[in-house]
Amino acid sequence: MTTKGKSTQQDSILNEIVHCAFCGTNMVLDGALYICPWKSLGTGVNCYSASVDAKRLALNLMTILVNRVLTPDTLAEIVERIQRSANDNLRNQQNRLDDTESKIEELNRRKLDILTDVEYGEVQFTEIADTLEAIEAARAGLAYESSVSQEEIDKLQFIGDQEAIQSVALDVGTYTEFADPELARQLAETFLKDIQIGDSTVTVSYTHPIPGPESGELITSETFPLQLV
């Protein structure tokens, strides 16, 4: 454990992936450390998870990905396997995005028609106020769906961008901080499904099977002693 310090953008690449193994809550940054918020609030919740240096955790886990996944042969094999399923998901997400944007355009046209009727005195504004409010609420919901679809599309496209992934590998292998935290974040989200912090161990679940530490047999999760991460 390290002394608290100022948190940085590099510390946050694992945000929303790191959870407390006891209560399941998203762990949050307190200075430079990931802590369970329930534990820090002193609520009396029986939570015994350790506090973990965020940057050290990120660098160690990213180094695992570099050493086991981001070698040319292994990366090509994993990316090919992921892309087979990702391509279908990408098409589905793109279709969903197109459908959502089409619905937003239709709502915009409907709103314009209504306001035109008000302008020419064909209806009173009070008569259509509720309808306009419903349209705005629908537009807001669809806009959120659109942003979620676009985020998923960006993530799926990143999976197939080996040049971008290799650039992150170079950052991790050469420097103590990431030159491009956003790329590092994308890499973490691509391969790290969940990180559970216990009192003495860290359990990492992967989104896709990766080679294990010794035999190379594909694994989907593994547990480390806390001092190793």
Mean pLDDT by 10 residues, the chain (229 residues): 42 85 89 83 68 89 80 70 66 79 86 87 82 84 80 68 60 54 77 92 90 83 84
Instruction: Give yes or no: residues 60 and 80 share one domain.
Output: no
Instruction: Give yes or no: residues 61 and 90 share one domain.
Output: no
Domain end, chosen from 100, 127, 159, is at: 159
Instruction: Give yes or no: residues 52 and 90 share one domain.
Output: no
Instruction: Give yes or no: residues 148 and 207 share one domain.
Output: no
Q: Hey, what amino acid is at 63?
A: T
Half-sphere exposure (Cβ direction) of 37: Cα atoms closer than 13 Å: 9
Instruction: Give yes or no: residues 14 and 60 share one domain.
Output: yes
Instruction: Give yes or no: residues 93 and 152 share one domain.
Output: yes
26 lies in some domain: yes
Supply the DSSP symbol for 13: G
DSSP assignments along 27-64, one per residue: PEEETTEEE-HHHHHT------PPPEEHHHHHHHHHHH
14 lies in some domain: yes
Q: How far apart are CA 189 and CA 155, in angstroms?
A: 8
pLDDT of 222 reads 93
Give just the sign of the alpha carbon dihedral 92, 94, 99, 103: positive
Instruction: Give yes or no: residues 58 and 128 share one domain.
Output: no
pLDDT of 6 reads 46
47 lies in some domain: yes
For residue 143 the two structure tokens come to: 């806009």
Instruction: Give yes or no: residues 85 and 134 share one domain.
Output: yes
pLDDT of 160 reads 59
166 lies in some domain: no
pLDDT of 198 reads 93
Q: Let me know: does 45 contact 23? Beta carbons within 8 Å.
A: yes
pLDDT one-digit tens code per residue, 60-101: 888 888 788 777 677 667 767 666 666 666 677 778 778 888
For tokens 């193994």, name the residue: 21
State the DSSP H helix or E strand holding residue 11, giving kind and residue range, or none if neither: none
pLDDT of 10 reads 47
Q: 3-class DSSP state for residue 16? A: coil
Domain count, the chain: 2
207 lies in some domain: yes
Instruction: Give yes or no: residues 90 and 62 share one domain.
Output: no
pLDDT of 20 reads 92
Q: How far apart are CA 149 and CA 93, in angstroms?
A: 6
Order of strands across the sheet that contains 201-211: 18-20, 192-197, 201-211, 218-225
pLDDT of 128 reads 80
DSSP assignments along 186-219, one per residue: HHHHHHEEEEEE-SSEEEEEEEEEEE-SSS--EE
pTM to 2 decimal places: 0.60
83 lies in which domain range?
74-159
Instruction: Give yes or no: residues 94 and 64 share one domain.
Output: no
CB atoms within 10 A of CB 41: 10
173 lies in some domain: no
Half-sphere exposure (Cβ direction) of 4: Cα atoms closer than 13 Å: 6
Instruction: Give yes or no: residues 64 and 81 share one domain.
Output: no
119 lies in some domain: yes
Instruction: Give yes or no: residues 49 and 99 share one domain.
Output: no
49 lies in some domain: yes
pLDDT of 2 reads 36
Give just the sign of the alpha carbon dihedral 30, 36, 39, 42: positive
